Amino acid sequence: MHFSDNKYSSRAESIIRKLLGAGFSAYYVGGCVRDFLRGKVSSDIDISTNANLSEIKKLFPKALIIGEAFSVALVNKIEVATFRQDGPYSDFRHPDFVRIVPTIEEDLSRRDFTINAIAMDINGDLVDPFNGKEDIKNKIVRFVGNPEKRLVEDPIRAFRACRFAALLGGTIEAESRKVIVANHSLLKKVARERIQLELNKTLMLTDRESALFLLSSLHLLEEIMPALATSINVPQNGYHAEDCWTHAVKATQAVEKKDIKLRLSALLHDIAKPKQRTRDEEGVDHFYGHETKGVKMVEKELRELKYSLQIIGYVKEATRYHMTRIMFVPEMKDSTIRRLMGKLKYVTIRDVLRLQIADMRGNLRDPYSFEEQMKFLKYALKRIRKIEKDDHALKITDLAINGEDIIEIFKIKPGRRVGKALKFCLDKVLKDPELNTKEELILLLGKKIFRHEK
């Protein structure tokens, strides 16, 4: 069993054995073989065979036909595809037609990179017509056949090349790089949902830094996030040793938590710096208000890439509050921390701290040692835990009084005055949590807000 650590391993082996027993050819293909040769566990297993769809369906009656035009079936949650070659790609994604072919070698010739154009039989013997195993060993990403033809077929392959190079810990082959640079604008033709998916996979890499720097060096970033691309080579004299783009990449790499929302926030948190940059008489750069100006820019970039409202809300909020440095201002009042915690709707206070730590580690001037960072973080967490333990009111819904109470007690009509009164109560309670009783709040409202009401 070649993929013993994969949950689909035994199913895949039984499918291949059944195809072989019926007189067909069958091979493991694609990412599962690539990862096997790297000593890694693949998340899925794909199979290619010379059996056509009707023959696959006859052998596996419960198989689902998930791509009739491309001759792909789903057998017990494993994709089984007939050997094929692709026609022209008029839409830069799907072939206009496919042609069934008799051999695995012909099937492999249509694939994107040599590292993904390797097949393995049930005995572990490889079919490797493009020397993909050697490229895996040398950590090289190389297009199969004619690089320009491969890229024009589906321009998302330029993005994928960067991701695979980082995955291997290697490089993109020289001719492939030239073709990507010359055709980088083709990425505009790719559906934004596919760009998003590829960006998510890139941000979840162990070495996302290398992939991101490849994207910028090959002029792909400007096609993916044009506003973010303006940060390339924008200096930060004074407080940073690195330019804005390098800082964004280093901060993204520094996020340890495997959370796409947090890593997107690290990538985009300073997106407004190029627009907000000023330089004083001493040559120090300032970026006043970049955390607030960045909110709309973040929303525009993420909406363009079709992210969910939940993710957009999270990244906007993280961007807005990444400069509220709880851990670096020991004299900050508890009421200020409570106020921030109450404002957060999408992002947790702990993720704000995580982003701030990543932001600091992305600063190549190293303003604080690791020990100092941990000291600041522990102090901030201690204060947050106490607030949580004391169960203080942080939002209007936590108050001991509600809008209906105010309408009934003060005999007023529903409207803005009720909202204003609740905000007044919350402001008082954030400063002094002991005031959060119905009696105290009614008394305060009677004195300050509704003193002329009868």
CATH of the domain at 52: 3.30.460.10
Q: H helices then E strands: how many in the chain?
A: 23, 13
Give the domain CATH number at 178. Answer: 1.10.110.30
| Whether residue 366 has pLDDT greater than 90 | no
| Whether residue 220 has pLDDT greater than 80 | yes
Does residue 160 share a domain with residue 105?
A: no
Give the burial class of 271: count Cβ atoms within 10 A of its Cβ; 0-12 exposed, 13-18 middle, 19 or more buried: buried
Tokens matching residue 411 = 């005999």
What is d(CA 327, CA 366) in angstroms, rounded to the nearest whole number? 16
DSSP state of 396: G
Does residue 262 share a domain with residue 180?
A: no
List, for residues 84-110, the tens digit of each pLDDT value: 998 777 777 777 878 999 999 999 999
Does residue 375 share a domain with residue 245?
A: yes
List, for residues 398-415, the tens digit of each pLDDT value: 999 999 988 988 888 899
pTM of the model: 0.88
Does residue 249 share a domain with residue 358?
A: yes
What is d(CA 223, CA 216) in angstroms, rounded to the nearest whole number? 10
| Whether residue 183 has pLDDT greater than 70 | yes
Q: Mean pLDDT highest for which of 252-266, 318-332, 437-451?
A: 252-266
pLDDT of residue 4: 61
- CA 310 to chain centroid, in Å, comes to 13
Convert 114-149 to b/e letters by CB count within 10 Å (16 or more is b).
bbbbbbbbeeeebbbbbbbbebbeeebbbbbeebbe
pLDDT of residue 124: 94
Please indicate, yes or no, if residue 351 is contained in any of the structural domains: yes
Please indicate, yes or no, if residue 412 is contained in any of the structural domains: yes
Please indicate, yes or no, if residue 371 is contained in any of the structural domains: yes
Whose tokens are 């491309």? That residue is 70
Band of residue 3 on the pLDDT scale cut at 50, 70, 90: low
Torsion angle (degrees, nearest 10) of CA 228, 234, 237, 239? 10
Does residue 363 share a domain with residue 323?
A: yes
CB 283 within 8 A of CB 237: yes
The amino acid occupying position 7 is: K
What is the torsional sign of CA 68, 73, 74, 76?
positive
| Whether residue 27 has pLDDT greater than 80 | yes
Please indicate, yes or no, if residue 231 is contained in any of the structural domains: no
Does residue 403 share a domain with residue 360?
A: no
| Whether residue 1 has pLDDT greater than 70 | no
Closest CA to 362 of 243, 282, 277, 207: 243
Give the burial class of 270: count Cβ atoms within 10 A of its Cβ; 0-12 exposed, 13-18 middle, 19 or more buried: buried
Give the domain CATH number at 347. Answer: 1.10.3210
Does residue 367 share a domain with residue 331?
A: yes
Does residue 294 share a domain with residue 265?
A: yes
Q: Answer with the one of 91, 113, 133 that is the final residue of a domain.
A: 133
Cα angle for residues 275, 279, 285 (degrees, 5° grid): 75
List, for residues 192-208, the tens digit of each pLDDT value: 999 999 999 999 999 99
Q: Answer with the one of 107, 133, 159 that is the final residue of a domain.
A: 133
Does residue 120 share a domain with residue 39?
A: yes
Helices assigned H by DSSP within 6-70: 9-21, 31-37, 53-59
What is d(CA 53, CA 95) in angstroms, rounded to the nearest whole number? 18
Does residue 250 share a domain with residue 322?
A: yes
Closest CA to 8 of 32, 34, 39: 32
pLDDT of residue 453: 57
Give the strands of the sheet with 64-67, arranged side by side. 64-67, 72-75, 78-82, 46-49, 26-29, 119-120, 126-127
Tokens matching residue 407 = 């309408």
The arithmetic mean of pLDDT across residues 78-87, rounded, is 92
The residue among 332 and 125 whose pLDDT is bigger is 125
Please indicate, yes or no, if residue 163 is contained in any of the structural domains: yes
List, for residues 287-297, the tens digit of each pLDDT value: 999 999 999 99
Q: What is the domain count for the chain?
A: 4
The arithmetic mean of pLDDT across residues 165-192, rounded, is 97
CB 443 within 8 A of CB 451: no
The residue among 85 and 179 whose pLDDT is bigger is 179
The arithmetic mean of pLDDT across residues 352-378, rounded, is 87
Q: Which residues form the domain of 31? A: 9-133
Does residue 380 share a domain with residue 265?
A: yes
Closest CA to 392 of 333, 442, 327, 310: 333
What is d(CA 2, CA 13) in angstroms, rounded to the nearest whole number? 9
CB 208 within 8 A of CB 165: no
Q: Answer with the one of 193, 224, 255 that is the final residue of a domain.
A: 224
Please indicate, yes or no, if residue 1 is contained in any of the structural domains: no
Please indicate, yes or no, if residue 402 is contained in any of the structural domains: yes
| Whether residue 391 has pLDDT greater than 50 | yes
Q: What contacts 316, CB < 8 A, 6 or more positions away? A: 295, 298, 299, 346
- CA 309 to chain centroid, in Å, comes to 14
Please indicate, yes or no, if residue 428 is contained in any of the structural domains: yes
What is d(CA 147, CA 174) in angstroms, rounded to the nearest whole number? 11
Band of residue 454 on the pLDDT scale cut at 50, 70, 90: very low
Does residue 42 share a domain with residue 185?
A: no
The residue among 329 and 255 whose pLDDT is bigger is 255
CB 163 within 8 A of CB 205: yes
